[in-house]
Amino acid sequence: MIAAGIVAEISGTTIWRWLSEDAIRPWSRRSWVFPRDPDFVAKAGPVLDLYHREWEGQKLGAEEFVLSADEKTQIQIRAPRHETRPPGPGRAMRVEHEYRRHGVCAYLAAWDVHQARLFGRVEDKISILAFDALVASVMEQPPYRDASRVFWILDGGTIHRGQRAVERLQSQWSNLVVAHLPTHASWLNQIEIYFSILQRKALTPADFDSREMIADRILGFQRHYQTLAEPFDWRFTRADLLQTIARCDHSVLEAAA
């Protein structure tokens, strides 16, 4: 502004005030991932339809269910070097900055998006065996065992990726239908909403001395949440997705059409 001759001199405080008044904050930023999957709409569209109880243009029946599943990996098992102090009058909770590590674990979970039912298990690490055990714990109980179709919404993670995973799962449960999300589409996976709730309500701050302790916390919160759970108010539709993709790049929309 000085070089342009607009002002002879100006203070940083004045610049800050101008930017604040105009709601311009060049120092702030927000990361995002551009949709690069050429089949983004083709994969995401059916998932969004399932959230609204539709599949291939037909309404789902009463004996058809939709589950969203994923893994929360690399959960840090750690404890502060000094005891956490509870909050008091005029004083926030005090958590020691330094901590001791006790390894990591993983939480595999599935969420019935319309029945608001939650299933999960804690493992040392993710694996095909662990994921299939989660699926079995759901599919071997009513109403899923006798359902005409049970849709599982999954991302492209290594333990449930591609056609091989579809064939593996359907060979064990003939009424299971896999709906794969496109790459970089965790924001369309409803189980991620629950993971964020779990992180805020049960895993923050981290104060766990053992795997058993953190497993008790995770599964205990799962049981508690199940007593008050309701379906998420999901309003984002296939039409909204098309509008979002169109704003990003018309070529992506054309390639996926």
Read off the pLDDT of residues 200-229 as tens digits, 9 standing for 90 and up: 999 999 899 999 999 999 999 999 999 999
- C-alpha of 100 from chain center: 28
pLDDT (mean) for 31-41: 83
pLDDT at 26: 74
Nearest-angstrom CA–CA distance, 28 and 49: 35
Q: Looking at the predicted structure, is the pLDDT value of residue 120 above 70?
A: yes
Single pTM value for the model: 0.84
Confidence of residue 29 (pLDDT cuts 50, 70, 90): confident
pLDDT at 249: 60
H/E stretch holding 72: strand 64-80
pLDDT at 250: 53
Q: Looking at the predicted structure, is the pLDDT value of residue 254 above 80?
A: no
pLDDT at 211: 94
Share of the chain above pLDDT 70, in %: 96
99-112 and 117-123 strand pairing: antiparallel
Nearest-angstrom CA–CA distance, 188 and 39: 15
Q: Integer distance in angstroms from the first to the last C-alpha of the chain?
A: 47
CA atoms within 13 A on the CB side of 184: 10
Nearest-angstrom CA–CA distance, 90 and 86: 12
pLDDT tens figures, 160-200: 999 999 999 999 999 999 999 999 899 999 999 999 999 99
- Structural contact between residues 178 and 154, judged by C-beta atoms closer than 8 angstroms: yes
* Tokens of residue 56, six digits: 């291939």
Coil vs helix vs strand at 81: coil
Q: Which domains does the chain have, with CATH numbers?
A: 40-256 (3.30.420.10)
99-112 and 176-180 strand pairing: unpaired
Cα dihedral: 127, 133, 136, 138 (round 10): -100
Nearest-angstrom CA–CA distance, 6 and 34: 38
Q: Looking at the predicted structure, is the pLDDT value of residue 52 above 70?
A: yes
Which of 48-52, 94-98, 144-148, 176-180 has the lowest average pLDDT?
94-98
Which of 4-8, 88-92, 177-181, 248-252 has the lowest average pLDDT?
248-252
